[in-house]
Amino acid sequence: MSLVAVLAEMPDLLERTISEHAPDHLGQCRECRDSSGVSAPWPCMMREMADEASDIRRGGLPGTYGGRHRPLRSVRV
Ligand SMILES: [Zn+2]
């Protein structure tokens, strides 16, 4: 099961992820920082996973949601 599918089963966590991973005034993610404190460009990978999980909750098929990080999202849990 993918992490996205897990997230789709956890509406509270999903909602929190979407609200936390929002763009700041520079269009960077407010939540994601690398070790040097640099923000990730928004939408970050977490936000794209959350958006895909939302899509699944609305009836979308897993793996059919496109996004900027699509080729990187082959990690399965
Ligand atoms: Zn983020």
Summarize pLDDT for 54-65 with one digit per residue, the tens: 999 999 887 777
Q: Is 69 among the domain residues? A: no
Q: How far is the CA of 44 from the centre of ligand 1 (A)?
A: 5
Entry pTM: 0.78
pLDDT of residue 37: 87
Residues of the chain below pLDDT 70: 67-77
Residue 77: predicted pLDDT: 46
Amino acid 34: pLDDT:
84
**Cα(11) to centroid of ligand 1, in Å?**
17
Asked if the structure places residue 76 within a domain, the reply is no
In a domain, 68, yes or no: no
**How many domains, in total, are found in the chain?**
1
Q: Are 50 and 14 in contact (CB under 8 A)?
A: yes
Q: Which residue has the tokens 């763009």?
A: 23
> What range does the domain containing 50 cover?
3-62
Q: What is the per-residue pLDDT for 68?
A: 67
